[in-house]
Structure formats: C-alpha cells, structure tokens
Structure 1
Amino acid sequence: MGIRISGMASGMDTEKIIKDLMKTQREPINRLQRNKYTIEWKRDAYREMNTLLADLQNSLKTLRMSSTFSKKVASSENDSVVSATVKGKPELPSYTVQVTKLAEAGTPPVVSELSLSDVQGITLKLHTDKQEDGSYAKTTEVVISATDSAEQIVSKINSSDTGIKASFFNDKLVLTAANEKDFKVETPNKAVASQSSPAKAAEFTINGVPYEAKSNTFTFDGIEFNLKQVTSTPVVIRTKTDDEAIFNTVKDFVDKYNAIIETINKKISEPKYKSYKPLLDEEKEALPEKTAEKMDAMAKSGILLRDPILTSGLTEMRRALSTSLQVTGVNTAFDTLSEIGIGGPPSGKFAYQENGKLYINEDKLREAIRNNGDDVLKLFTNYSSSNDPATKYKESGVAERLYSELNKIMDKVTKEAGSSGSVYDDSSLAKKLKQTDEDIQRWEDRLKIIEDRYWKQFTAMEKAMSKAQSQGSWFAQMLGQQ
C-alpha cells in the first residue's frame, strides 16, 4: 500500500468518497454473501429434517423385533403368598408354586456383651483367623486408656486391621466381623466368643419339582418370584401376552409418525417471500434486534418449499405403510395396517388435507392384538431375505419396510446437505458453500486492487493540486515584488 493523501489540497473527504465508491463495487460480494446465507439455511433445514427422520427410524427399532409382540405379563392368584413379575421370556403359560419354607438371612459373627466400663483402662485382645481345631491364629492387642471416650475406643478398634468393626449401642460395645468369620474378644476378666447364625434357604416346589433358593426373591424361567408366606395350598402363576404394552408401543409410534410428518409437511409448504433477502451483518447492526430477526425469519421461510427429496420421501413413507404384506403364510385378513385399525382419516374428513396422517381405531387394534397376535407380529416384523428389491419390499413387514425407506430418504438428504457430526463433508451444498467462499475471496482480492487504484488516483490529484497551489503562491509573490 502506497502513501495515501486525503483531501489536503482539495479539501475533499477522500476516504468517504472512496468508501462510497466501494459500496457499489462490493455489490457482487454482497450477492454472494446473501447466497451463502441461503445455502447455509437450506443445509441446516435439511439436517433438521434428517434429525426428525432419524428419531422416527429409532422408534421403529422396537416394532421390527418379534420380542416386542411377545412380551408377557404374569399374575398370581394370591399375591399375598407369591407374587411374580416377568423379567425374561417365560416358556410356560402357568406355574404352580407351593412354599414350604421361607428364606431367613443369617447374622454375621457378633459380640455385644461388653459395657464401656468393661473395656476402659485395659488391653483388649482380639483373636481372629479361627482354625478347624477351634484355636485362633492371630491375636491383636488394642490398648484402651481409662479416659478414652466411646468414640475413641471405636476408632482404635476399627483401625486395628483385624476385620472387626466396632460401635456402641445402648451403652454396649458391639463388635462385628466384617469378613463374617468367627472371632473372640478377651479382657483381663473375661473372654467372649462371637455368635452368629447361618442363613436358611427358601424351600418350595414349582410345578411339583422341589427347589431351594438363598433368597425369597429369585428368577425362574424368565419370571421373578417373590415368596411371602408358607402355604399348604399351591398358588398358580399365569402368564399371558402383554396386550396393553404392545398396544402402547404401536400407538406411541403412530403418534410420533404423525407429529414428524406434520412438521415436514409444514416445512415443504411454507410460503416463500421473494422480497425478503438474508440480511448482511452491517444491515443487522443498523436495525432493532427484533426487526432483524423478523426479517431473517421471512427470508428463511420457504427454504424447502416443495423440496423434491422430502416430498417424494413422504410419498414413499405412506406407500411403505399402506402396501399389503405379500408373503407365503400371511393371513390376508390381517395383511395391511387398516385391517388392524390403523388407517387414514375417518369418514367426513378429506384425506388430502391430512397429508398422510394416521388414525387409530383403538378397539379394533386392541382386538387384533388380543385375538390375532401372531398375525399382527408378522404384519410389523416379517423379514424377507430375498435379493430382489421388489420381492423384498412386498415380503417385508411394515416396520421393516418403513425402516428401509427412511434409510433411503436420509441418505439422499445427507448426500445433499451432509451431516453435522461428519468430519468430511462431500455433500452438494458443502461444495456450493466452498465455491461461494472461493468466489467471495476472489472478489475481495479484486476489490482490494480497485480500492488501491482509487487511492492512487486521488493521491495523484491531491499532489497535482498541491503543486499547482504552490506555483500559484510563488507567482503571486513574484508579482507582488514588482
């Protein structure tokens, strides 16, 4: 950058004049910058739609699994004796349980016969590691002074590294073996051996076969049993398909599907306001914040209007849900969602106004789950191993089919807009952004040259005027001397 002379001779505000001239020259960059904002908005809008589609696909994972439609619930004919909860996959429809004996927890070795006065001012001997012959292999001495408080005595014993823990309760020193091994406490006046009781196992029969368990709560064949009382009368535990859980899983999916396609439909039908353009930074700064936000919102509106990827994607999603399951062994009375109570708008509504929204006939759906559970399972989860795309499509359950279609839609969106979590972005919009940035940089370089040229021209003019003024002053002085 050369020397810049600003209005010294002419009196003009050269800097402002050049700045104004450059505003016109910057218009191509402004157009590129607005275009960049538009591309970024479209990319972000696409990614937002992909997040919704991924959320919908994630909700399909449970509907694709046969275990979702095989959930069981257990009920006891006498909960006060034995209760049961399904934790896995029970194989039998019922279990007859008779409780002979309840489990009892054992107590660890404990000594609780010593008072505070028994242990003050003595050396306490703790005998541990009891041998088979009744002797103890290790003796640890704990010196307790006559002035030690209960807290100090407890601290000395607990830090003795014997595995024996102490506490005071009702003025008695209570010693417990943390390792649950017998021990003995010896004072100058007495020796006290620890007392313990072994745990007792629960004894019971299931379907006539005797069993034992360490706890009154145990799992058998995918069912968690909780024994509560001994009884001479057997209690029957029955299992059945958890119809309500299946119904709720299906309903939750339909609700999510409706919410997501409503959001996408709104996005692709947003009005476009062509008179509103993205605001440049300097334009935002010149406006009140709320006004700038409103104008940007108007400029963003319709960014995905009638978008072909999303529009065709919604069509394919509706087709995936409405096409009948066509495979050997399928019950043709339950080969479509509409036949189990999931379909389009009820009579009186116009389907085109609903944009693919699903409605549930709850009574019909519950009845299908209750009476034709295997058919409902197949309708949602059937998997086709065919390599022919057309055959695979027809033979796939609706959940499997929709899951696959969502993959295709999301792949198209990702190819167009990339993924926010991806390190390398080779999407179409990423390439456009890169090209736009390069174009902006080229224009910036060009404008720098133009601005330098303006300054050179004005500087040359100032120098010429300054020289002319100097010569005029010299002539005036010469004439004055004559």
Structure 2
Amino acid sequence: MSDLSLGGLATGMDTESIISQLVQLEQRPIYNYQQEISELEQTKGAWRDVNSRLDKLENRITDLKLSATYNSRTANSSNEDVVTATASNSSDEANYSVTVKSTAQVQRLAGTRFDDTSAPISGLGDFAAENTITINEKAITINDTDSLRDISNKINDANAGVKASIVDNHLVLETSETGEENALVAGNNLIDSNTNDGVLETLGILDGGAITNDIEVQSASNAEIDINGITGITSSSNTFSEAVEGVTFNINPDAVANDGTDTAFSSVSVAKDTGKATKAVQAFVDQYNSAMSFLDGKTDYDEETEKSAVLQGDSTAMRLQMRLRELVTSKVKDSGDYNTLTSVGIEIDRDGVMSFDSSKFTEALEDSPEEVISIFTAESDSDGYEGMAVRMDSYLDQLM
C-alpha cells in the first residue's frame, strides 16, 4: 500500500510552500555572499588590468626620462659599399671624407700537399710518440698516430687564435683576427718542439724553422684610411673606433684591393636623430590613451541599460584619472618658450584623448633641444623643477 502525503490539506495550511519559503529565506545570505564574491572578483580583475596598463605606461615614461632618448645621433654614408658608421650620443654633428687605402686581412699559411689526409703522420717522418707544437702560447700535443685531419681538429679545439682547415690535402692555418699584430711568427708564437724534424716542418707549415713566401699565401695586414685629409690612420681590424671621438667607421673588407694601387672614397655625415625621441613620445601617447580609455570603460555608467561598470563610483579610480590628466596638462615650469607638453605638440582634447604632432615636436627639439628635453627630464635638485616624465614616473612608482 503506497504512502499518501496530505501536506497541509488536513489542517488547511500549505506547509510545503511555507517550508520552501523558509529554505529560500535561510539561503538568501548565501546568495548575497556569492554575489558579493562575484563582484569582488570582477573588481579585482579590473584593477589587475589597470595595473598592467600602468606598468606599461611606466615603461614608456622611463624612456622619456633618459637624455639619451633625445640626444641620439645618426651616421649616414654616401657609399656603404666602402664604409658604414655609427655615432654615439656624444659625437659632434659633422661631415667626414673617408678614403680607404687598404683593408685589414688575416694571415694564411698553406702546408705541403699530401696524398692521404687520414693516414697517420708516423709514415711521414721519425716522430716521437708525443710531439708538441705551440701556437699563441697554447701547447698542442700531436701523436705520431694522428692524421692530417686529426691535427687540424686539435688546432681548432685549442682555441689558439688560429683556424685550421684542409684544402686540396694541404693543411691551411688562418689567423682568427686580422692585422699585423695577430700574425704568426716562427719561433715566437709558432713553435715546434722538434726544430730538426718537427711536425710543422713535415707538414710544410715551416721551412727550415721559418715561414717562407711560398708558405705565406696571404700576409696579415692593417687597414689604413684618411679622414678629412689626415693621413696614416691605421687599425689592425676594419673597424676604426678611436680616430673620431664618438664615431665608429666600419670598412668593407672588399672596399679596395690590397696591392697599393687602389683607393675608395665615401662621405659620412653625423647629424641629430630626432626619430628615436619621436618614437618614444608616440609610444607614451599611445599607452596613455590605452590606460585612460580602459579606465573610462571601467568607470562608465550606461543610462540606457542603467548598468554601472565595475569601477563606477570608485574614488580611487577617479583620483587616478584626475591625477594622470593633471600630470600631462599642467605647466612644467613658469618661464621659457617650451614649458608645457602642448608647446611641443602633445595635447589633450575635450574627451581626454591625447594626440601628438610629431612635426611640431621635431621643430621644437631642433630649435631648443635643452629646453625641450628639460620638459621631460628635469630634476628638482638640479633644475629647480621636475619634468613631466620624472613626475609621472614617481607617481606611478608610488601607486603601484
């Protein structure tokens, strides 16, 4: 016989409805708590995103604090097949006439041709079980069981400033660095432990303890250039970094033939590079707009839907927006032609969107570089006021 539930019918009371309402009433704090947790998670996520955008903004500000951002120099060559150049921030704006008379070359030694590069050298002479050759003070042990290929590998493994290879069954030694100072000299930085019937003599790298013209298929040489009529400027490499302060000239190794009959010419101009500063300012403007646009979206109230964004009414978010706008719109200093961001092409419209006139900025930077730079980089201790980048970086650093 099945059970029959009469509920409250017998008493005239709907007990199931009452119980359901009591359960809902008891669960209401739980629902409220879950809603509160959800809102807190949304708020937390929003501030995490704000923090990320402010962190990127601070990175952009860091670039604007550096004087190197504005003092950059560019070096242009009229003939890059002859010479290229780089200029540091401290270099003078000037033109340089560069004539290349010779380029730096490595030394190359070629030994005797052998029939079998894999055969042990014991068959070539009366060698000890172990022999020693020294290259640039690196002692290299050569066994009588070693082949020409083994010897080449051992020289390379020694990292002695020499590259070994086998070309048409000849052992070829080539200095790793160009210039006369890096050349191998028999008895000095190229030594065979057995001077009478040594490994290097047998391989043809030495002849009678010397490097002959037949062995030295290419001599080590220095590069030589003239700059603005100054002659006799040399370098062991094809790079000249000390001839002109702040400017490095890189000579193309194929610029001239090293037979003393040829020269090559190029003109190098060093000028201000405003492009680096322009890019840095544009990057700041873009990131500022990104951060402010995100904050606007998170503090918005939609009147049509009557819905508030997650940070709508948040006093911290509102103070943050106001302070960022104040930092970029307030006067940096009281005197001078350039004392606000607006004066150098950075403006805020009525909607709070920042724009950048790069032409106006470049013109100002060329007209009065120190004054423009100070708008961003000035320090109160030395200048009596703080530049915008210094102020904002300090604020963001404390905030984050």
Normalising by structure 2, what TM-score? Answer: 0.70
| Alignment match, 1:213 | 235
Aligned to 2:145: 142
Structure-2 residue corresponding to 1:44: 45
Change (3 A) 1:140 1:155: closer
Map Cα deviations across residues 38-76 of structure 1 (whole Å, 9 max, x no partner).
222212211221221121111110101111110011123
- Equivalence for 2:365: 369
Corresponding residue of 1:237: 268
Q: Aligned residue for 2:222?
A: 201
Secondary structure of the residue aligned to 1:385 is helix
Larger proportion of strand: 2
2:95 touches 2:267 (CA, 8 Å); kept in 1? Answer: yes
Measure how far apart 1:217 and its partner are: 2.4
Report the Cα distance in structure 1 between the residues aligned to 2:338 and 2:376, rounded to whole angstroms: 11
Alignment of 1:52-451 (within 5 A): 52-87=53-88, 89-91=90-92, 93-107=94-108, 109-116=109-116, 119=119, 123-124=123-124, 128-129=132-133, 140-142=143-145, 154=149, 158=153, 169-170=167-168, 172=169, 174=171, 176=173, 181=190, 191-194=202-205, 195-196=215-216, 197-206=218-227, 208=230, 210-220=232-242, 221-228=245-252, 229=255, 236-271=267-302, 302-326=309-333, 330-331=335-336, 333-345=337-349, 351=350, 354=351, 356-385=352-381, 395-408=385-398, 410-411=399-400
Q: Which structure has the larger Rg over C-alpha atoms?
A: 1
| 1:42 counterpart letter in structure 2 | T
Greater share of helix: 1
Task: Provide the C-alpha distance between the structure 1 equivalents of 2:85 and 2:283, rounded to a whole number of angstroms.
Answer: 27
CA drift at 1:369:
2.3
Q: Contact (CA 8 Å) 2:97, 2:265: kept in 1 or not?
A: yes
Q: Closer, same or farther in 2 for the Cα pair 1:224/1:254, shift >3 Å?
A: same
After superposition, give the CA deviation of every residue in 1:359-398 in whole Å (9 maximum; x if it has no partner).
Answer: 2233322322232322211112111128xxxx97xx2112
- Would you say how many aligned residue pairs link Structure 1 and Structure 2? 345
Deviation, 1:98, is 3.7
Q: Which runs of 5+ in 2 are unaligned?
A: 8-15, 177-183, 185-189, 206-214, 257-261
SS of equivalent residue, structure 2 residue 233:
strand
Rounded to whole Å, the distance in 1 between the matches of 2:98 and 2:224 is: 11
CA displacement at 1:201 relative to structure 2: 1.4
Q: Once the two structures are aligned, what percentage of the paired residues are identical?
A: 22
Q: What's the RMSD between the two structures over aligned residues?
A: 4.5
Q: 1:166 to 1:222 in 2, by over 3 A?
A: closer
Cα distance in structure 1, aligned partners of 2:112 and 2:123: 18
Of stretches 224-233 and 396-405 in structure 1, the one that deviates more from structure 2 is 224-233
Amino acid corresponding to residue 344 of structure 1 in structure 2: I
